[in-house]
Chain A
Amino acid sequence: MMASLRHSITNALRSSRQACNKPAQWQSLEQQFGALRIGSRSLSTFSNTEPNPNDDSPIVAAPPVSVDHFKLHPYARAVPVSPSYFTRTPRFYDNYLALEKLMEQYEELPVIPATAVERVAWKTLDDIRQELGEQVKASEFARCMVLVKRLNSIHPDLKPKQVKDVLDGFKRSVQPFTNTAKPIPIDQFGRACGVGRRKASSARAFVVEGTGEVLVNGKTLAEYFGRVHDRESAVWALRATNRIDKYNVWIKVEGGGTTGQAEAITLAIAKGLLAHEPALKPALRRAGCITRDPRKVERKKHGHVKARKMPTWVKR
């Protein structure tokens, strides 16, 4: 079998040499590959210059390989494509150079004032380092961001697509500034429902214009909260804005403990109040009724008795 295989390959090569000698009679590539095919039929066959429609496996030699394309100049050295190949942070510099090039190109385009520019969450230095895998210097990153922000301030109608594409690479994937809070509606009965959370508690407060009556889960404030401090924190949003006798509040609160519930109610009432009087927002923010306290119970760790506590040291 091996002998027959060698025989067929030799014949095929021979026929290809013959074909080269007759360049006028080029054969199709298919035919040449057909010549290379190994099979019982090709064993006794010599090359036939004339394509035979009845014979589907003519053996034709491959064309010669030209080495002209791969030939280097005898005295040349290899030059990297990127000019920043030999720097410490080549990928970052590539980006930077691209920005500079764009800057030169579009310097003349009109810009809009900084206050009118849409807010964008740019990638941070850490994000860039993570993404490029390079130890980017903070100062260089700052210079880069100056360019980015300058390019971003080009008038949006005239901003070229090329610039937009490059800037997209510097934007964080999640853009929090595009989120807009849903306005709380005031229903037909004049109620605004605010939701507040703290620790494990969540509260819904229905704020309506009234005389200062507060009901928490169907009980009065004094019945629901034994501690005066908790009662004060529950109505703090109204108290801090001198609105305590202007509204009635009906609250549903669940989960968590006493303090958590009281402080969840603070946020809930503040949101409901904002639906009635949006201008109170700065006052409420100063009173600490806008920002949700993110602190929660720290998880327990293995090897610890609690989140941080270590077991008592025991001799042996």
Chain B
Amino acid sequence: MSASNCLRCLVRPSAVTLAPRQILQAGAGAAGAGAAGATRTFTATASPNNQMSANRPQKLRFRKVKKKGITPQGKPPLPGERKAYRKKIVLSNNNALPVAGLETLRPNDLSKQKNVGTVMALPEDVVDALRATEAFKPTQCWGIFRQPSVLVRQETVDLIKKMDGAAADGKTLRLVVEGNRISGKSLMLLQAMTHAFMNDWVVLHIPEAQELTTACTEYSPLENSPLWSQPVYTLKLLQAFKKANEKVLSRMNTVYSHADLPQIIPINSPLIQLINSAKEADGAWAVFQALWRELNAENAGRPSILFTLDGLAHIMKMSDYRNPAFELIHSHDLALVKVFTDCLSGAHKMPNGGAVLAATTRGNSPRSASMELAIAQREAEAAKEEVIPQRDPYGKKYDDRVEAVMKSVEVLRLKGVSKAEARGLLEYWAASGALKKRVDEELVSEKWTLSGNGVVGEMERATLLTMKG
């Protein structure tokens, strides 16, 4: 909602009390003579009082004397500096040893079975693209190693094969990546994105779903629609999208004319130009819609699309936004979220094929009973179990819209890595100088057990981050 009409009414009470004093000070120069006279009279009357008080016995003071605090040395950090440091992503470390024989990923490497258990480096242009989409997270330990590299897991190869198969058939792979804490869910998305970037797909990534639904970005109602747009976030997403996919987008031209945009884009103009027309937040949603329409154009030689989202539970509940009636808005009524959920549910079909991947998260994730139930049901169906989990008949927290979206998705549950994969990872750590022990069967099995049967993040904690506790 716009806040243009009366910002002063919303100023905090403490700020309001300050205002008259400032006015007085400003007016002091104009009424200088009167003010000076007042002070003189005050000092004149004050002096006899002081003499009298000198004769009186000293009063006991009950108020505590304030101690002098420690004066801060140096200048305090600027606003936002601490957060920037906390969120800083370091992807290389010159002190780490270069790993001999480390191969750089080539377009088809992630789908080859023989690469399972090896660590492979990300190509530089892909690293830039991934950084633009915010695929790297500050909690991941990229800064220990010389070059960002990933372990090829069995699950990775399976997922990439599925993606390739779906894209080849012009279908869409709709899949939810599920797993325990630090079991590599976000990294699985990163690997899928890496594969997409290397194979000239178009990648649209929402790095934190909670940014969309926790009411921390602006929102406005869309005309003639029950949906709500989030212009500022959309603009940011468009820019990140452009930066990450520049190479692919530069080869594409528009096939529709877009007359309703802030800037008129004729047919057959570069797609980059369309994205660039979103200069301000106001027109961002219209541009995004136009772009989405262009990307899904049939028979125009468009590449496959990979649409990913991290933190699925955040969009599977009521959002923190409110409508004019002060009722909570459902997350699926946010336009951007709806684009994703339509793809995930299969309501929107991508004509050029591709994949829609969503990863759940365990850190700071809200409980979404319907999402958990749907995941359990899909898993049971995939395993062909006799008993499919059903709703708790007394539960009130179920959400039909969520269950409708997740009616037919696939579920990829990440568990620990195998011992062979664990060995590959440990050998890479040892070669990088991060692990100063001989990597043998004993060490591998010890770390594998300590990490809860090979959970990758736990293995990292038990091996590399021992000083952190």
- Asked whether A220 and B453 contact (CB < 8 A) given A228-B462, A231-B462, the answer is yes
Interface assignment of B180: CB less than 8 Å from any CB of chain A: yes
B446 near A244 with CB under 8 A, answer yes
Residue in chain A with minimal CB distance to B462: A228
A231 to chain B, nearest CB (A): 5
- Inter-chain CA distance A212–B448, complex, in Å, is 8
Interface assignment of B214: CB less than 8 Å from any CB of chain A: no
Mark B432-469 against chain A: 1 for CB-CB distance below 8 A, else 0.
00000000011001101111110100100110001001
- Inter-chain CA distance A214–B449, complex, in Å, is 7
B441 near A223 with CB under 8 A, answer no
Q: How many A-B residue pairs have CB under 8 A?
A: 49
Chain B interface, DSSP helix/strand/loop, else mixed: helix
Q: Please list the residues of chain A having a beta carbon within 8 angstroms of any beta carbon in chain B.
A: 211-214, 220-223, 227-229, 231-232, 235, 238-239, 242, 244-245
Measured between beta carbons, the chain B residues less than 8 angstroms from A227 are 469
B462 near A212 with CB under 8 A, answer no
A221 near B450 with CB under 8 A, answer yes
- Inter-chain CA distance A232–B461, complex, in Å, is 12
Q: How many residues does chain B have at the interface if contact means C-beta atoms less than 8 Å apart?
A: 18
Q: Which of B441, B455, B461 contacts A245 (CB 8 A)?
A: B441
| Pairs of residues from A and B, 5 with the lowest C-beta to C-beta distance, nearest first | A222-B452, A245-B445, A220-B452, A222-B458, A212-B449
- Asked whether A213 and B462 contact (CB < 8 A) given A223-B180, A245-B445, the answer is no
Which residues of chain B in 165-192 are interfacial with respect to chain A, using CB atoms and an 8 Å cutoff?
A: 180
B455 near A222 with CB under 8 A, answer yes
A242 near B462 with CB under 8 A, answer no
B449 near A235 with CB under 8 A, answer yes
Most buried by A among B442, B449, B469: B449
Measured between beta carbons, the chain B residues less than 8 angstroms from A212 are 445, 448-449
A40 to chain B, nearest CB (A): 99
Measured between beta carbons, the chain B residues less than 8 angstroms from A229 are 469
Q: Which of B445, B449, B452 contacts A223 (CB 8 A)?
A: B452
B253 to chain A, nearest CB (A): 51
A228 near B466 with CB under 8 A, answer yes
A20 to chain B, nearest CB (A): 105
- Inter-chain CA distance A245–B451, complex, in Å, is 13
Residue in chain A with minimal CB distance to B415: A220
A228 near B461 with CB under 8 A, answer yes
Residue in chain B with minimal CB distance to A231: B450
- Inter-chain CA distance A213–B449, complex, in Å, is 6
Most buried by A among B446, B448, B452: B452
- Inter-chain CA distance A228–B459, complex, in Å, is 10
- Inter-chain CA distance A262–B182, complex, in Å, is 22
Residue in chain B with minimal CB distance to A246: B445
Residue in chain A with minimal CB distance to B452: A222
Show 11 residue pairs from A and B whose CB-CB distance is below 8 angstroms, ordered by the A residue: A213-B449, A213-B453, A214-B449, A221-B449, A222-B450, A223-B180, A228-B469, A238-B449, A239-B446, A244-B449, A245-B441
- Inter-chain CA distance A231–B455, complex, in Å, is 14
Residue in chain B with minimal CB distance to A242: B442
- Asked whether A222 and B451 contact (CB < 8 A) given A228-B466, A231-B462, the answer is yes
Measured between beta carbons, the chain A residues less than 8 angstroms from B448 are 212
- Inter-chain CA distance A211–B449, complex, in Å, is 9
Measured between beta carbons, the chain A residues less than 8 angstroms from B441 are 245
Measured between beta carbons, the chain A residues less than 8 angstroms from B180 are 223
Residue in chain A with minimal CB distance to B448: A212
A142 to chain B, nearest CB (A): 51
B228 to chain A, nearest CB (A): 39
